[in-house]
Chain A
Amino acid sequence: MPVFDGVMRGVNGGGAISVMTRRSYKHFYLVLNELFETHGTDPGAAAMATRDDALNHRLQLLLLHECAAVLAGRYFAAKHPRSKNPARLFVTNWLDRTSVRELLEWSHAEAARRPPARSVSKKRQKYAGGLTVK
C-alpha cells in the first residue's frame, strides 16, 4: 500500500462521500484479508473477534491511516474544486505545504456543519401560510 494511495482515493472521490468511502473500505478489507491470510485465520466475521492484540492494533492503524488519508484527499478536492485527476506530484507538494491543524479545522467544520436550510418556494409559502406574494 503506497503512502499516498488513500489521499489519491480521496482526491478522486468525486462529489459523493459514500463513493470514496466504499473505495477505501474495499481497499481496507483487501489488506485485512491479506493480514488474516498471513496469520492463517479465516477472514470472516469470526476472525474479527481475534484475540491477537498485535493484529488488532495493526488493523486499527490501517483504518486510522485510511481515514486520515482520505480526509486529506477530500480536503484537497474541496480546496481545488477545478483540479480533476491532479498529478501526484501536485498533491504531494500540497501535502507538504498544508498543516495538520488546517485539516483538523476543516474536518471539524465538516463534521459539525448543519444541513442547509430548505428553501421554500413563493408558491408554497403562499399556500402554506396564506401570505400574499407578488
Chain B
Amino acid sequence: MTITDRKPTVEEHRARHRFLHDALDELVADYLSQHRRMLPSETSLMALMQWSYDQTQQPTDP
C-alpha cells in the first residue's frame, strides 16, 4: 500500500474506504465473538474503541 502526498482519485479514495471497512468488519466480528449477547445496534462506538484498545495492550486470545 503506497501513501502519497497528492490528493487521491475517487477510485483510490474508495479503495482506501474498502480497506478500512474490511478492517472494521473484522474488528466487529472479533468483538461480537467475544460478546455473544451484544448486537452492533446495542454496542456504542465507545465500547468498541475501549475494547479494541485494551486488545492492543493485552490480547485475550491469539
Residues of B within 8 A of A (CB): 3-8, 10-14, 16-21, 23-28, 30-31, 39-50, 52-53, 55-56, 59, 62
Contact = CB atoms under 8 A, between A and B. Distances in A.
A68 B16 contact: no
Given A68-B48, A72-B45, A96-B44, A116 B10 contact: yes
B53 A22 contact: no
Interface stretch (A43-51, A54-62, A120-128): A54-62
Contacts of B52: 61, 64-65, 68-69
A83 interface: no
A96 B46 contact: yes
Contact of A111 (B3, B18, B27, B30): B18
* B contacts with A: majority SS: helix
Contacts of A116: 10
A80 to B, nearest CB: 14
B30 to A, nearest CB: 8
6 contacts: A16-B7, A22-B3, A63-B23, A71-B21, A99-B45, A104-B24
A106 to B, nearest CB: 10
B23 A17 contact: no
